[in-house]
A and B are shown apart, each in its own frame.
Chain A
Amino acid sequence: MKDPVALGPIELSASEAGAPDAGALFQRLGAHNGLRATGRAVVAVLLAFAVTAIPILISGKSPIAAYWALLHGAFGSFDHVAFALNKSTPYILTAVGVALCFRAQIINIGGEGQIAVGGLAASWVALNCGDLPSLLAIVLALAAGAVAGALWAGIAAVIRLTRGVHEVLSTLLLNFVGVLLVSEALNGAMGEAGAGFPQSPMFDEAVRLPTLFSGYDLHVGLIIALVVTGCAQFLLWRTRFGFQLRLLGGSRAAAAYAGVSFAGGVIGVMLLGGGLAGLAGGIEVLGVHYRLIEGFSLGFGFTGVAVALLAAANPLAVVPAGLFFGFLQAGALAMQREVGVPSSLVYVIQGFSIVFVLCAIGLDRRWQRV
């Protein structure tokens, strides 16, 4: 139901209509909305830092010192940066998939489970690929991860279409199942004998993701994530499938009228979203841990949702949003170590950022182009 009262006196569309010359050009490039959205996100993040200063002050620490340590921890050296970039990679990949689902008004919050089974499948391939050539083995392992993630999400899509169970519920519950599957495998066939911790044996050198610069940990996953993001943007705005997604998101009735099948859209976008999360899981095990370990996907799925929200479901905006989360979490440990502020405070910052962005989006959601 549209409630005109809820609109309040705010008239955000005035600037959006744009002046004929520069405004229209911006709009054609899609940059005008982008600028607004970027401004919105930046303000939200700054506000979040400001608000989080309060609990830091209450605990008797200096927010400035804490934030300085955070900054240093995130950007202090190339090693730190590499660590943060690696951390951002699965967030970006997962969030791109979530964003595509959001565009079609499909709420996929099953990233965690999809990452888990993706990592599991990739690990299985990595442990069993014998002596295939390195590149082939890596591609196979990542592909297995993507397929597993896609199928995992596909289960939720099928349940939605055949039994009418909302995907919020099914993807959420499948998270637990996916994570437990990993534990099951590690406590059984895939576990490392006598390790004392549920983890698989180390992968062969040949199936580890190559690094971008020798001597640093930064692996090629980031490049994959960036390429995927570009493809997602293209898919959304320049392909028939993307048009279908936008139409489904814009209005289910209009989609039916245009002959766009809801079932096709749901299955397609869930497979895609699950596939990207599964790929993220594969990249995480092959690029960071070099083995499957219990709990490697902990929190990734929800962070992916958060990143997609911060990016307002805009694939290109997912990159800065994902990097923000990655660097924030990377810097958190340094903040805890150097200033004694608990690293969990960065989750407060993340949380506030999202709340503020959502408030801003909520105010002009109805004006967003679909």
Chain B
Amino acid sequence: MATAASDAALDCKRPALEESVLPALLEMRGIVKTYGAVCANRSVDLDVREGCVVGLLGENGSGKSTLMKVLFGMIRPDSGRILFQGRALAGHSPREAIAAGIGMIHQHFTLVEAMTVTENVMLGWAAAGAVLKPAEIAARIEATSRTYGLAVDPHAIVATLSFGLRQRVEIVKAILRGAKLLILDEPTSNLSPPEVAGLLGVIRRLREERHSVIFISHKLAEVIEICDEVVVLRDGAVSGRTPIAEATREGLARMMVERDLSAPVTRSARAPGQAVLAVEGLTRRDASGATRLSEIGFTVQAGEILAVAGVDGNGQADLLDTLAGILPAHSGRILLDGRDITRMSVRRRLAAGLAYIPIDRGGTSLVPGMTIADNLAMRDFDRPPLARGPLLDPGAMRARANERIAAFDIRAPHGDVQARTLSGGNQQKIVLAREIGRKPRLLLAFQPTWGLDPGAARFVIDQLLLLRDEGGAILYVSAELEEVLTLGDRIAVLSNGRLSSPEPRAEVDVTRIGLMMAGAA
């Protein structure tokens, strides 16, 4: 536990203020929040100083998002005090939190897609006045965007913006509304590496302008790079806090889980099997006629992981959705175990042993309002053992839920609670448990570890390797080069709808892959 003395000794990275003690901006004291028997926050203290970036770390379900929702006024704590800029905040609504100078960037954005950036910024903003002055606001957006290096075009329609840019629109929105403190809950988990670098740059600019940031992430390297101080939650309580100068990856990991995660990933030598997935000349155009995939061809063999690296928006989702049968192919063939499945329905592909972990950007792989048991059954509900004829078998569904909850360490009281009551990482575990637990012939995995804490991510990687060793074929798609290089038996790059020819891991030239991802080679 930190004492006042050690707090005062904190050295924030801000060079100009190094010797002076930065004034406190936020003090949270003794925050308690329980959900029935689950204690999400048990007497948490959190301090943030002006111009400091505080990292909030912790396993999935350790209570990070809950603490932030309490701060932002989205939920009411059972007890505890919040002091922001010397003023007490209690029973406040998000509106009041914003007025007080707190901004929160959610993982699911709150932008209206059909509107421009300027319109979105004005939306629901009292200070924009009763008579809107779009030109004036646009100018302010431009100015803010320049100050913080955000590169946001005020006239762009939100629907046309990439995920990373939408996030920046949210940041502009929060800054213009006067946010002194920005809460970023897992802002990097859906970003490509260059977007992450850009975001970290923005956070640095925010710090220079004396804004404070609470930064939640499971990626220790990012946390060490950007934060001035780290607070670690475990099981709803603070298990450690440390200035960044004294933090190491190993030390942080220990504070989070009390387990050693440093054991290297082990992989057995692979005997090439027969082709499980063979794709020939796959081409797809979107509704506007633009080519999303062009003439893609590759195979994935039994007992092999083909890892595809690529920056978001280069056709990854199209490729996987087409293979899974959700989107139609315009030409080309897809063979699964030698059978042509190009025109097969999703259901028949499922029955043929195809599993798919999509990247979830809201409600695709998971229905928050359904129970865990329903979500685990979502893709198998109409086949034995979960169904008998036209009827569901609730007993079988419950049994499967209990088994998967245990096997994948999903933190939930039982299978009959709604998925939305789980923490973000635990929701992702439901999807993984469903798809990996199917013991598929072919697994399509799109950034399966996003939102998972390091321990859970490691567990998933081990599961994928186990599936491979048992003869399953895996197509692994990710923007994270490190994971691609760890997991892939062969590695390819998807850029601009074209797939490079896969190379064995031993022959891969990392620099060249990086360039290809950037579309330069």
Interface string of A19-43 (1 = CB under 8 A from B): 1100110011000000000000000
| A3 interface residue (CB < 8 Å to B) | yes
A5 interfacial contact with B, CB 8 Å: yes
By the criterion CB–CB under 8 Å, are A250 and B370 in contact?
yes
Most buried by A among B36, B112, B113: B36
Complex interface: chain A residues within 8 A of B349 (CB): 259
Max count, chain B CB within 10 A of own CB: residue among A4, A24, A27, A257:
A257
Are the CB atoms of B366 and A254 closer together than 8 Å?
Answer: yes
B521, CB-defined interface residue at 8 Å: no
Residue of B104, B324, B370, B371 with most chain A CB atoms under a 10 A cut-off: B370
Instruction: Decide if A131 is an interface residue (CB 8 Å cutoff).
Output: no
Q: Is the interface of B mostly helix, strand, loop or mixed?
A: loop
Given A2-B108, A250-B367, are A240 and B35 also a contact pair (CB < 8 Å)? no
A169 at the interface (CB under 8 A from B): no
- Expressed in whole angstroms, the Cα–Cα distance for A370 and B392 within the complex equals 16
Is B416 in contact with A5, judged by CB distance below 8 angstroms?
no
Select B391's contact among A20, A23, A238, A246, beta carbons within 8 Å.
A238
Q: Is B343 at the interface (CB under 8 A from chain A)?
A: no
Q: Which residues of B contact A257 (CB under 8 A)?
A: 324, 326, 346, 356, 358, 364-365, 379
Q: Which of B72-80, B292-300, B511-519 contacts A (4 or more CB under 8 A)?
A: B72-80
User: In the bound complex, what is the Cα–Cα distance between A368 and B381 (angstroms)?
Assistant: 21
Q: Please name all residues of chain B whose beta carbon is closer than 8 Å to the beta carbon of A3 when the two chains form the complex.
A: 110
Q: Give chain A nearest CB distance to B115 CB in angstroms.
A: 10
A176 at the interface (CB under 8 A from B): no
List A contacts of B38 (CB < 8 A): 17
> Which residues of B (375-406) have their CB < 8 Å from a CB of A?
377-379, 381-382, 387, 390-392, 394
Q: A1 an interface residue at 8 Å Cβ cutoff?
A: yes
Q: Which of B91-99, B258-266, B331-339, B499-507 contacts A (4 or more CB under 8 A)?
A: B91-99
B contacts with A, residue count (CB < 8 A): 61
B36, B113, B346: which contacts A19 (Cβ < 8 A)? B36
- 1/0 per residue, CB under 8 A from B, across A351-368: the answer is 000000000000000111
In the complex, chain B residues whose CB is within 8 Å of the CB of A246: 370, 374
User: Looking at chain A's contact residues, is the secondary structure mostly helix, strand, loop, or mixed?
Assistant: helix
Query: Does B345 have its Cβ within 8 Å of any Cβ on chain A?
Result: yes
Cβ A240 vs Cβ B364 within 8 A: no
| Given known A-B contacts A27-B417, A247-B378, A254 and B73 have beta carbons under 8 A apart | no
Nearest chain A residue, comparing its CB with the CB of B347: A259
CA distance A53 to B220 in the complex (A): 63
With a cutoff of 8 Å between Cβ atoms, the chain B residues found around residue A164 in the complex are: none
Q: Is B325 part of the binding interface, using a Cβ–Cβ cutoff of 8 Å?
A: yes
| Cα separation A254 to B358 with both chains bound (whole Å) | 10
Stretch in A8-16, A147-155, A216-224, A313-321 touching the partner: A8-16
Also in contact, A7 and B94, with CB within 8 A (given A254-B363, A258-B378, A370-B367)? yes
Report chain B residues within 8 Å CB of A369: 369-371, 418
**Which 4 pairs of residues, A with B, have the shortest CB-CB distance?**
A259-B346, A250-B367, A259-B347, A17-B36
Residue contacts A-B, CB under 8 angstroms, 16 given? A9-B73, A9-B76, A9-B93, A14-B36, A28-B416, A237-B392, A250-B370, A251-B363, A254-B363, A254-B365, A256-B326, A257-B358, A257-B365, A258-B381, A369-B370, A369-B371
Known contacts A4-B74, A5-B95, A9-B91, then 15 further A-B pairs from the complex at CB < 8 Å, ordered by chain A residue? A1-B111, A4-B106, A5-B93, A5-B94, A5-B110, A14-B35, A17-B421, A18-B417, A253-B362, A254-B364, A257-B356, A258-B378, A366-B368, A367-B418, A370-B369
